[in-house]
Structure 1
Amino acid sequence: MRCLASGGIILSFVSVSRKRPKQADGAVAAKIARLANGGAPRVIDLFAGCGGLSLGFHSAGFELVGAVENDPLAAATHSLNFFSHAKHSLQEHGPVDVTKTDPEELLRRVLAEKLSVAEAASRIDVLIGGPPCQAYSIVGRAKLREIAQHPLAFEKDLRAQLYKNFLHYVRVLKPLAVLIENVPEILRYGTRNVAEDIASELEALGYQVRYTILNAVHYGVPQLRDRMFMIAYINELELLPEFPAPTHRHALPKGYKNLRRDVTAKLSGLFGSRYFLPPVENTESGEAAVTARDAIGDLPPITKHLEGQLKRGARRFDEFTPYAGAPLTAYAKTMRGWPAFRSRDGIYDHVIRYLPRDYKIFARMAPGDEYPQAHALANRMFEEALEARSTKLRPSDPRYAVLKKEYVPPYDPAKFANKWRKIDAEEPVRTITAHIGKDSYSHIHYSSDQARTISVREAARLQSFPDGFKFAGTLDPALRQIGNSVPPLIARALARKMKRDLLAALRHARAR
């Protein structure tokens, strides 16, 4: 089931046909003519989440017509930021089964107009989206193997087939351009390269297609985040997809380089592969990568948890936190001043998780420390607490176990090596995933004086959401929405490149 954020429609999907569209299609010709006359490209975002891709394309001058998302809170966030004045609200419509509702019916609901199939197809120029990645991710596969007790259980995951629903919308709406995002593991999903399957389907539908791996850190996002991006242009444009050149320099760690080496070695030599070599890693020119301190260092410190003023319970976004007047980096200025999402005086979602056992561990961790180091620290602190007691406790004493529980987390450091990590302030952070909505330990704030995990607003900053972007729900679902999203800055870089190339192709076509 998926949900239309602009109209609040809960939807499921039908499968794709490989039928090739007619080449001189009237809807395609109408779209080309409209854009050639200066119209803004109109876009629909499928599997939109809270709106990272939507924000990037909106900022690049695309007209966002609608979005489809199944998570109610993510859909509410999308509506709140992009369709707050739309005629159709999330509450106004009940669930709609898209197997009984064609894409043209979907557009009729969004646009509140009666449209024929041809008219509906003529209304959408660009289709973007990221089919749910959990089925392809290494963590997601491992979880499925554990549940199903079969090494190839992930291949039966229905979420891995949702790209076919995306392709169904391509077939019906005939967009001039397509952008798809997913995790790099989609390139090696068991024995399949699903990205190549998608590219083949798009080519059969009449598109020129290329896909590659990009890292968000090279586009101004303060985060090491590899993702597969695929761009396709309809054949009538005679346009071969290209990807934006990196704007920021940063040497990727070994694991990221190995992924590129392995994928390139496997795919670049295959006849007919649409895999495009990743842009050359920029390590000498361009701007320096944005660091964690650059990204969140201006936000007000949080210490009330250390003063006993933070209690257990849901964290809502109803308390205003004024900016503290700290010096602003270029990145912080961008986050505060993003057009249409400005926040001049402060923020409402600078809230953190209640983790009373662990504050003292966070304070003593060093930058870059992970769970094994944190676990060793906790045991030393427990030993110190034992030594400080006036009466000694033996392991057989029930009070021994009670005291240990106050200091030492229960997870085996050999099995959960990457469960915790304290941010290095002078480096970009590691990938923010949806799991941050469960415990946040993967991103412990670099300040030992604050001794905490990052706030919702800090997570949003590290994902490059501007301060004026609002999240529906409470702390846990907001963090999950952030971790599931495409960083808006890399989305904007892709959107700008696609827009430039589209307009150049249209100018060239008119000159012929």
Structure 2
Amino acid sequence: MAQKYKMIDLFAGCGGLTEGFMQTKKYREVAAVEWLIPQVNTLRNRMKTKWGEIDADQRIMHFDIQREDELYSGWEDDEFGKGKGLDYFVNKENGIDIIIGGPPCQAYSVAGRVRDENGMKDDYRNYLFEHYLNVVNRYRPKLFVFENVPGILSAAPDGTPITELIKKGFDGIGYAIVDDLKGALVNASDYGVPQNRNRVVIVGLDKRTFVDCDKKLDHFYKELLPKYKIRKRKTVRETIGDLPKCMPIFDEESHKKRISHTTPECDISWHCPRYSNLRDMDTFRILEEDIESGLRVYNSKKISELYEKKVGSKSPIHRYHVLEPDEPSTTIIAHLYKDGNRFIHYDPEQQRTITVREAARLQSFPDDFEFVGSRGHAYQMIGNAVPPELAYKVAEAVYELLEEV
């Protein structure tokens, strides 16, 4: 095989994008940047144990990308320790070929804007893409991959659409992206991820490297990437149905110790259910049996009524959702770390929400991918990650585009 393409991952999280690119065996990670320590520790562990990067503790940088001067030249402080900076590793490799990543999506998500009283207008994360842009401009990769939520297509925190700012910003440093970003919208379930997850995958081309960028981008989105679509979408049952059952426990003594389910003995890590109280377990059973029986009595209104009956108070939104066994999952979100009531396992025998490993499988993480941190951290990492299977397909299509040059 030809020499591997050298890449940097920005806003790397626990490494969903990196994982997919590395699985192709066509790329080599020069450095990555992430500021949340559980995510950093998880990615460092993965790069060392799976991909043999013995100096991953230096290459996977725990740092704030907003502190650009130090990001490039190195830092030493109490919060982030000591780091050599991106320049050191990029210069050591005589430059890089590709930058991947995507700024945190909360400020662009429609749900985030609804929840925030100012519609996320004051959220500093709206403009983190500018730091991504600056890193691209400094190291001039042949190509970049910028992933984000569909809400970025409608976000306009200061009245100007974010998409306009992004297009203008990258054009100003000599990179072309597709003119209508709706054309960059993909559903992960079309690419082998057992989950309905819409994402915007923006590929940017260096105008000095690529001739006729518009034509190349059209070729990428209409021919190269669609080649990797699957014919039949993967379902929840196909993805998690073979995992050992976690059976409910009903005795009060166990519940006093906050133990509600058995933890099966198996070689797969993180397959341990979170605690559910008896009331929630009974609610889960009712809704799971409704799905399994095919009766489908419980629509949104009925679920709200059930919630009121069980809890004794009304809720403006229905708080329970059973995953459909024979469809892809609904979108796995980071809120899963707070509660799993919108991710209820479909099996009425188990009466529970999904485990970390089940969430990871629905995001297409392999079973040997270890999450470093608490269970809450693991759920959060998974919900915020790019599904590795989608990243793998994007990486293969990007490789073809680079090879054509």
Q: Quick one: percent identity of the two aligned structures?
A: 31
User: CA offset at residue 46 of structure 1?
Assistant: 0.5
1:470 counterpart residue number: 370
- The CA distance in 2 between the partners of 1:88 and 1:494, in whole Å, is 24
Alpha-carbon spacing, 1:373–1:207, altered in 2? closer, same or farther (3 Å): same
Q: Which structure 1 residue ranges, 5 or more long, are not aligned? A: 1-36, 249-285, 323-345, 383-407, 506-512
User: Does residue 364 of structure 2 align to residue 364 of structure 1?
Assistant: no
Helix, strand or coil: the match of 1:299?
A: coil
User: CA offset at residue 154 of structure 1?
Assistant: 1.6
Q: After superposition, what is the alpha-carbon deviation per residue over 1:256-294, rounded to whole angstroms, capped at 9, x for unaligned?
A: xxxxxxxxxxxxxxxxxxxxxxxxxxxxxx521101001
1:371–1:421 CA contact under 8 A, matched in 2: no
The residue identity in structure 2 corresponding to 1:132 is: P
Structure 1 counterpart of 2:105, from 122, 133, 139? 133
Q: After superposition, what is the alpha-carbon deviation per residue over 1:171-214, rounded to whole angstroms, capped at 9, x for unaligned?
A: 11111110001111111113433133212221221222124110
User: CA offset at residue 447 of structure 1?
Assistant: 0.3
User: Does residue 203 of structure 2 align to residue 231 of structure 1?
Assistant: yes
1:66 counterpart residue number: 31
- The CA distance in 1 between the partners of 2:71 and 2:3, in whole Å, is 26
Structure 2 counterpart of 1:78, from 25, 36, 43? 43
Helix, strand or coil: the match of 1:45?
A: strand
User: CA offset at residue 314 of structure 1?
Assistant: 11
Alpha-carbon spacing, 1:351–1:104, altered in 2? closer, same or farther (3 Å): same
- The CA distance in 2 between the partners of 1:121 and 1:186, in whole Å, is 33
1:48 counterpart residue number: 12
- The CA distance in 2 between the partners of 1:188 and 1:230, in whole Å, is 15
Structure 2 length normalisation: TM-score? Answer: 0.82
- The CA distance in 2 between the partners of 1:311 and 1:53, in whole Å, is 41
Structure 1 counterpart of 2:317, from 406, 413, 416? 416
- The CA distance in 2 between the partners of 1:136 and 1:130, in whole Å, is 11
- The CA distance in 2 between the partners of 1:459 and 1:359, in whole Å, is 19
User: CA offset at residue 138 of structure 1?
Assistant: 1.7
Alpha-carbon spacing, 1:464–1:306, altered in 2? closer, same or farther (3 Å): farther
2:70 counterpart residue number: 101
1:197 counterpart residue number: 165
The residue identity in structure 1 corresponding to 2:393 is: A
Structure 2 counterpart of 1:298, from 239, 242, 247? 242
User: CA offset at residue 136 of structure 1?
Assistant: 1.0
User: CA offset at residue 67 of structure 1?
Assistant: 1.3
User: CA offset at residue 307 of structure 1?
Assistant: 6.3
Alpha-carbon spacing, 1:462–1:450, altered in 2? closer, same or farther (3 Å): same
Structure index of larger Rg:
1
2:177–2:202 CA contact under 8 A, matched in 1: yes
Q: After superposition, what is the alpha-carbon deviation per residue over 1:132-167, rounded to whole angstroms, capped at 9, x for unaligned?
A: 10011122112321xxxx4xx522211101000001
2:385 counterpart residue number: 485
Alpha-carbon spacing, 1:40–1:441, altered in 2? closer, same or farther (3 Å): same
Alpha-carbon spacing, 1:370–1:123, altered in 2? closer, same or farther (3 Å): farther
Structure 2 counterpart of 1:208, from 150, 171, 176? 176
Q: After superposition, what is the alpha-carbon deviation per residue over 1:323-366, rounded to whole angstroms, capped at 9, x for unaligned?
A: xxxxxxxxxxxxxxxxxxxxxxx211001121112001101112
2:127 counterpart residue number: 161
1:370–1:420 CA contact under 8 A, matched in 2: no
The residue identity in structure 2 corresponding to 1:497 is: A
Q: After superposition, what is the alpha-carbon deviation per residue over 1:211-236, rounded to whole angstroms, capped at 9, x for unaligned?
A: 41101011011111111110011122
- The CA distance in 2 between the partners of 1:291 and 1:182, in whole Å, is 24
Helix, strand or coil: the match of 1:63?
A: strand
Alpha-carbon spacing, 1:102–1:291, altered in 2? closer, same or farther (3 Å): closer
- The CA distance in 2 between the partners of 1:93 and 1:63, in whole Å, is 16
1:460 counterpart residue number: 360
Tell me which moved more, 368-377 or 193-202.
Answer: 368-377
The residue identity in structure 2 corresponding to 1:109 is: K
* Aligned CA-pair RMSD: 3.0
Q: After superposition, what is the alpha-carbon deviation per residue over 1:62-117, rounded to whole angstroms, capped at 9, x for unaligned?
A: 11122111111111111111145533638x998678344152548x8278x957x8
User: Does residue 214 of structure 2 align to residue 245 of structure 1?
Assistant: no
Helix, strand or coil: the match of 1:288?
A: coil
Alpha-carbon spacing, 1:370–1:87, altered in 2? closer, same or farther (3 Å): farther
1:375–1:409 CA contact under 8 A, matched in 2: no
1:182 counterpart residue number: 148
1:45–1:128 CA contact under 8 A, matched in 2: yes
Q: After superposition, what is the alpha-carbon deviation per residue over 1:15-63, rounded to whole angstroms, capped at 9, x for unaligned?
A: xxxxxxxxxxxxxxxxxxxxxx932011111111111111111112211
- The CA distance in 1 between the partners of 2:62 and 2:34, in whole Å, is 14
Structure 1 length normalisation: TM-score? Answer: 0.66
1:16 counterpart residue number: none
- The CA distance in 2 between the partners of 1:52 and 1:208, in whole Å, is 25
Alpha-carbon spacing, 1:473–1:493, altered in 2? closer, same or farther (3 Å): same
- The CA distance in 1 between the partners of 2:205 and 2:192, in whole Å, is 26
Tell me which moved more, 420-429 or 452-461.
Answer: 420-429
Structure 2 counterpart of 1:351, from 257, 272, 279? 272
- The CA distance in 2 between the partners of 1:124 and 1:485, in whole Å, is 23
Alpha-carbon spacing, 1:448–1:173, altered in 2? closer, same or farther (3 Å): same
State the number of aligned residues.
367
1:320–1:348 CA contact under 8 A, matched in 2: no
The residue identity in structure 2 corresponding to 1:45 is: D
- The CA distance in 2 between the partners of 1:168 and 1:347, in whole Å, is 41
Alpha-carbon spacing, 1:120–1:176, altered in 2? closer, same or farther (3 Å): farther
